[in-house]
Amino acid sequence: MRVLRFYHISKVLLEHGLDDLIPARWQPWYARLARRSLFWLRNKHQDKSTGARIRLALQALGPVFIKFGQMLSTRRDLLPPDIANELAHLQDKVQPFDSDLAQQLILQALGIKTLDELFIDFEAKPLASASIAQVHAAILKEDGQQVVVKVIRPGIEHTIHADVELLRTFAFVVQKLLPDGKRLRPVEVVDEYQKTIIDELDLLREAANGIQLRRNFENSDALYVPHIYSDHCRKNVIVMERIYGIPVADVTALEAQGTNMKKLAERGVEVFFTQVFRDSFFHADMHPGNIFVSYNTPENPQYIGIDFGIVGTLNREDKRYLAENFIAFFNRDYRKVAELHVDSGWVPGNTNIDEFEVAIRTVCEPIFQKPLAEISFANVLLQLFNTARRFNMVVQPQLVLLQKTLLYIEGLGRQLYPQLDLWETAKPFLENWMREQIGFKAMYQKIRSNLPYWSEKLPEMPDLLYDSLQQIKSLPALQQQHMQQQLEAQRRASNCQFYTLTGATLLILSVILPAWQPSWHYSGITAVLGTIAWIRAATLKG
């Protein structure tokens, strides 16, 4: 299974000529020999651009690879324009599957015979098509509301499982063979990714995520989440309100309608940090294909989010450490950043704090208080990797989704408003959040939230207090009783051992005595005494 999938991946890559992208000087002799030996797999797309070949190859390989292409498409600072523009098509312009099959799947999922039972109108041509599902526009019969119907691609789960198993094999090899294998924890990262992408196949889970996110941002000027029609949602079909907006990557259209680009970029940062630190529930697939900007109030722009299949959460400890790290960084307190990394266990406890502080300062100080346009992300990333390797920084699989989302947000900010100062935008929000977590206000909020619980338990307090005092009063007597029981058990064990040894000795002696004393009396008496001793030992043991 894995061998066949590996061959298929190699076949697709070679037939799209992607091996030509690797400079000859980087190809060892055995790689060149292997390529020549596969002479029947020739480039079938020589007439297409490099970007188009990469897009078509990723599209042919399926959702795991398309997700990778979607993430790369947001990093226009790292890719040539040709490749970035082509990869952007993977966000919502993947080759759709047959519309008749899509309609059949919808009928089966919703338990209806014809689409007319539920919809006034249903557009057979897909409105959009992505890696895992495609979307059709429709109008609900019950209230005339314009909706979209999302349906999972048939057979996609099998492909995903095959790719994840292949990734796990690669991860296991990397973990065993590479010097940094254990530190990078590739197997755990793949396991985390598997849970994420398998969850994305369950549209009931996506519906629940969308409902939660909509509740979190109800009446918000920053983010609008469309209504989910939960009664019409199934594991492979979801029905939700149709939204109208400008794709966030269409900067030309946004500027043409007079959108306040600075405020839009700042709101993107605000929405991200609100989801992570206020709600601990964040949209973790925020590539441009899933984010739109409302046509309304361009001077006070509002985001519209769709596709809630992948969401992330943080536990209280990780959330607090992250917030403290951000604030220490914003304040240029690099020693605090170093200490927090040690306290959280992200770097070994024996790390030299002074050296780690210097390394962090070396990476962070040159980019501090600079707009995104002046920061070389590739250079920063390289320095961060080198620092992580030098100080044995362990990869945190539970934070991978957050890191990926942060990459999306940073890439989005570069496109919308390159002059954005990411640090100054985020700092006030995080400082306010930290004030709410500690101090008198935080204590008051905690007491207030727990008040129903304590009010329920308050009538029981006198009885609990009396029982506790009675137990404390009787504690010395209980301890003395327990000690006596232990002494008695030790005495019984000692006696049991004595009678066991005595009985065994007497029984052995009863067997040996006839050799010296012909009379059976002595032997018989010895055997009887040995048996009595064993019975006594058994009684004590019981």
Element containing residue 273 per DSSP (H, E): helix 261-273
Distance CA 361, CA 337 (A): 10
Helix 156-177 vs helix 186-199: crossing angle, to nearest 10: 170
> What's the residue count for the chain?
542
Give the number of other Cβ atoms within 10 Å of residue 288's Cβ. 20
Q: Residue 218 corresponds to which tokens in the numbers above?
A: 């109800």
Question: Could you tell me if 537 and 503 are in contact, meaning their C-beta atoms sit under 8 angstroms apart?
Answer: yes
Question: Residue 131's closest CA among 195, 199, 68, 205?
Answer: 68
Distance CA 158, CA 154 (A): 9
Residues labelled as active-site residues: 285
Question: Residue 339's closest CA among 323, 322, 357?
Answer: 357
CA angle (378, 354, 360) in 5-degree steps: 15
Phi, psi of 138 (to 5 degrees): -160, 170
398-401 LR contacts (CB < 8 Å, sep 24+): 398/192, 398/314, 398/315, 398/318, 399/314, 399/318, 399/322, 400/189, 400/192, 400/193, 401/192, 401/196, 401/284, 401/310, 401/312
Distances in Å between the alpha carbon of 293 and those of 47, 66, 243, 250, 300? 36, 24, 10, 10, 11
Element containing residue 283 per DSSP (H, E): strand 282-283
Distances in Å between the alpha carbon of 538 and those of 330, 490, 505? 75, 15, 16
Distance CA 140, CA 119 (A): 5
